[in-house]
Structure 1
Amino acid sequence: MVTDIEDIARPLHPAAVMGLLPARPRLLALGEPTHGEETLLGVRNDVFCRLVEEEGYRTIAIESDCLKGLVVDDWVTSGTGPLDEVMEHGFSHPDLGLGASAANRELVRWMREFNDGRPTSEQLRFAGFDGPLEITHAASPRQALTALHGRLAALVDTDLLPCTAQTLDRLLGPDDRWTDPAAMTDPSRSTGRSAEAGRLRLIADELAALLDARTPQLIAATSRDDWERARLYGRTATGLLRYHHAMADGSAARMTRLCALRDAMMADNLLALAARGPVLVHAHNAHLQRWKSSMRMWQGPVEWWSAGALVSARLGEEYAVLATAVGTLRHRGVEAPPPDTVEGLLYALPRDRCLFDASRLAASLADPRPAARVSSWFGYAPLDPAHLAAHDGIVFVRDVTRG
């Protein structure tokens, strides 16, 4: 069987990736089975650099706050300010060390060097596509709402706005009322169903509708980039207020709603980025797969449709996904995989990293189907043998070492 698998292994380069696909995708997703590993981020960087040089890719989107990502995008396109500040303020999820990552820093630096001296139309772009959501809390909608209101106030008649900036500030109140970590597990601590939050949801909806209705005017007065940024503020404001409303839900469906809303925000951001196309997307496998995601939480198992499933339903063949599998993460206590698992069978090959056609791999392992690998570390999610063929490709990295 190992010989059969080795026959379908390919080097991990753009030509081999494109050879797996029926059409050039607008969104090419590269998943990872765990977060914060420099080895895997280095693989991502290599893939993106080659896609830029060989396939004309110009945008990368990662699983980080979409508003913080604007800081990075501004720097790679302008180079203004110190890189240290960009890394500190341009990435979310500090618990995962995204801003402190050497691989992330190298990616940003390389993008800036590539862009230097190039016309705007040829420059690389950076995007976060996650909502402003941390493990412990959700952000205040202040940044997104006030930015959207300010852009519209500068360009349309005052009487078209649903409220003044002063009213908006009063309704928002102190940011810590929105970001209280206790609200993540205690719905009664959330402000998401207060009278002020209800009013803000209506205001956000009206501002987003006004932005859409004035699209020709706004693009002519500013630029398409400014209009796209305003739309991002609108999506984020409405998405955050919807998320805060769900945080105040005391029913058993609360965590299902929250997980689903997060991936829906991700999907909306990816669909907007697809208009730039083509885009390399990098995130956890669970967010990019074409089927439901699942997680066991304190209240029991939770299932929801992943961002990849939502995007795939809209884009069809213009969405492609490569899932990454690994052999070992010894610094995390994950040793060589059992030989009867997918990872174990791939680990037996004499290759450090390679690419497989997912359908052909699934067919070669169909009888008997491999066992599911069980992770000894909660932060790593092995492949599900039952869903191999739902990917376009499988990237295998033999050993993930400490960064």
Structure 2
Amino acid sequence: MATDIKDVAHAVEAAAVMGLLRGRPRLLALGEPTHGEDALLDVRNELFRQLVEEEGYRTITIESDCMRGLLVDDHVTTGAGTLDEVMERGFSHGWGASAANRELVRWMRAFNDGRPVADRLRFAGFDGPLEITGAESPREALFALHGYLSTRVDTELLHSTCTVEALDRLLGPDDRWTNPAAMMDPSGSVGQSAEATELRLLADDLVALLDAQWPHLIATSSPDDRDRARLYGRTATGLLRYHYWMADTSPSRMTRLVSLRDRMMADNLLAVAGVDAAAVGAAGSAAPVDRAPVLVHAHNGHLQRNKSTMRMGGLPVEWWGAGAIVSAQLGAEYAFLATALGTIRHQGVDTPPPTTLEGTLYALPENLHVVDARRLTTALGDTRIEPRVSPWFGYSPLDPAHLADTDGIVFVKDVTK
């Protein structure tokens, strides 16, 4: 069996990855089983560099705030802002402090310098403005959408929908929305207040106005500006929906919240890939900007095709993640590489048992491989593979029962600081 497994393992190179896939996907998703390890981001960076130089990739999107990501995209495409400013303000989840993320942004900017616009690399965040402890105020997205419309749509038509003053009054102080206590205590959320309910209606009306004016907007704004307007609309309505369910008291509250987050992720991924259904329907021949093929990077749990699971407050939660939603829509145009790890010794994750999937792969000689998941399944045959149990909550081992749902496995034998 060991010989067979060696035969299905290759160096992590763009050509080897593309050789595992049945076609050329619009979205190539690379998952990770833990956050915060720059060693994994270094692997991502090198793969993206090769995909750019050898396979024509021009976009990377990561699990970070979609609104903040616009600052990173502006920097890598035009040089706007300094690298320090972009790393501080352009990422959520504290990922601006990552040396590997900094190197990614620096390299993208250097690559783009002097290139024609059509050949420049693009960056996007595809997460909502959400943290594990709560959600942002919808203010930025609502005001950005209103601002876009205010310079292109008849003033009376826009004001009959809502004014800046009305939005400001209904929003109130932003700390009402960002109260961290609301994540665990629904009574701390303003999401079902009279003001929030009215804001949901106004946000929906603003998006409807955007759709209704689309023929005019095609002639008066650039494709990038229109794509951003759609992003503002998705984010505003998504945040208000998320805040509504933060105030819910039913037993399904947490399932609803994690599902809504991944739904926002999925919508953003489809838009980045140029298949934003709402925009196509409204625009006809003026489809969204096509940035495919795109490398996607996030936690395995967000990108896998099978149901995602976790425990919150001691209770199991199951939901369909962004990858499952996107895969259901794109089919073969979505590909998923899961990352598996051998050890993270500085986190107490030691050599995996040989009866686990990770333990089987740990016998490979080199530290880094990409493994053909389908051929690995054949090589394992009737060998009993047990699920690995992590002693550290921050690492999620692969479930061998879903090996067939992946297009490949990136295996990192030992993760070191």
Shorter-chain TM-score range: over 0.9
Letter in 2 for 1:163: C
1:208 aligns with 2:223: no
1:326 aligns with 2:341: yes
The alignment covers a number of residue pairs equal to: 399
How far off is 1:396 after superposition?
Answer: 0.5
**1:87 aligned partner:** 87
Cα distance in 2 for residues equivalent to 1:364 and 1:299: 37
> What per-residue deviation string (whole Å, max 9, x for no partner) do you get for residues 295-332 of structure 1?
11115111000100000000000000000001110111
Cα distance in 2 for residues equivalent to 1:80 and 1:307: 31
Secondary structure of the corresponding residue to residue 298 of structure 2: strand
How far off is 1:219 after superposition?
Answer: 2.8
Pick the aligned partner of 1:377 from 392, 395, 413: 392
How far off is 1:179 after superposition?
Answer: 0.3
Letter in 2 for 1:167: A
Cα distance in 2 for residues equivalent to 1:368 and 1:324: 21
Secondary structure of the corresponding residue to residue 52 of structure 2: helix
Cα distance in 2 for residues equivalent to 1:360 and 1:214: 51
**1:142 aligned partner:** 139
How far off is 1:2 after superposition?
Answer: 1.3
Cα distance in 2 for residues equivalent to 1:117 and 1:4: 47
Letter in 2 for 1:293: S
Cα distance in 2 for residues equivalent to 1:393 and 1:369: 20
1:355 aligns with 2:352: no
Pick the aligned partner of 2:121 from 120, 124, 130: 124
Letter in 2 for 1:193: Q
Moved more, 309-318 or 160-169: 160-169
Secondary structure of the corresponding residue to residue 309 of structure 2: strand
Cα distance in 2 for residues equivalent to 1:225 and 1:383: 38
**1:172 aligned partner:** 171
How far off is 1:352 after superposition?
Answer: 1.2
1:190 aligns with 2:189: yes
| Aligned counterparts, 1:26-175, within 5 A | 26-94=26-94, 98-161=95-158, 162-175=161-174
Cα distance in 2 for residues equivalent to 1:300 and 1:392: 31
Letter in 2 for 1:99: G
Cα distance in 1 for residues equivalent to 2:81 and 2:136: 25
Cα distance in 2 for residues equivalent to 1:216 and 1:113: 37
Unmatched segments (≥5 aa) in structure 2: 275-290
Cα distance in 1 for residues equivalent to 2:201 and 2:156: 16
Letter in 2 for 1:69: G
Secondary structure of the corresponding residue to residue 31 of structure 1: strand
How far off is 1:368 after superposition?
Answer: 2.4
How far off is 1:80 after superposition?
Answer: 2.3
How far off is 1:264 after superposition?
Answer: 0.2
> What per-residue deviation string (whole Å, max 9, x for no partner) do you get for residues 186-242 of structure 1?
001100000110111011111111112222322321200000001000000000000
CA RMSD between the two structures: 0.9
> What per-residue deviation string (whole Å, max 9, x for no partner) do you get for residues 324-364 of structure 1?
00111011111111111111111111011111111111222
> What per-residue deviation string (whole Å, max 9, x for no partner) do you get for residues 276-295 of structure 1?
21100000000000011011
Cα distance in 1 for residues equivalent to 2:386 and 2:314: 28
1:346 aligns with 2:361: yes
Q: Is the 8 A contact 1:369 1:385 kept in 2?
A: no
**1:257 aligned partner:** 256
**1:386 aligned partner:** 401
Q: Is the 8 A contact 1:149 1:207 kept in 2?
A: yes
Cα distance in 2 for residues equivalent to 1:301 and 1:139: 26
Secondary structure of the corresponding residue to residue 371 of structure 1: coil
Moved more, 362-371 or 62-71: 362-371
Secondary structure of the corresponding residue to residue 349 of structure 2: coil
Cα distance in 2 for residues equivalent to 1:324 and 1:103: 17
- Judged with a 3 Å threshold, the aligned counterparts in structure 2 of structure 1 residues 82 and 390 are, in CA distance, closer, same or farther, namely same
Letter in 1 for 2:104: L
Letter in 1 for 2:269: L
1:286 aligns with 2:301: yes
Pick the aligned partner of 1:312 from 313, 327, 330: 327
Cα distance in 2 for residues equivalent to 1:328 and 1:271: 34
> What per-residue deviation string (whole Å, max 9, x for no partner) do you get for residues 366-385 of structure 1?
41231111101100000101
Secondary structure of the corresponding residue to residue 18 of structure 2: helix
Q: Is the 8 A contact 1:219 1:226 kept in 2?
A: no
**2:277 aligned partner:** none
How far off is 1:39 after superposition?
Answer: 0.5
Unmatched segments (≥5 aa) in structure 1: none
Letter in 2 for 1:283: A
Letter in 2 for 1:174: P
How far off is 1:81 after superposition?
Answer: 2.2
Letter in 1 for 2:360: L
1:245 aligns with 2:260: no
> What per-residue deviation string (whole Å, max 9, x for no partner) do you get for residues 229-262 of structure 1?
0100000000000000000000000000000000
Cα distance in 2 for residues equivalent to 1:158 and 1:189: 37
Moved more, 377-386 or 77-86: 77-86
Q: TM-score, normalised by structure 2?
A: 0.94
> What per-residue deviation string (whole Å, max 9, x for no partner) do you get for residues 100-148 of structure 1?
1100000000000000001110000000000000111100000000100
Moved over 4 A (4+): none
Secondary structure of the corresponding residue to residue 99 of structure 1: helix
Percent sequence identity is: 71
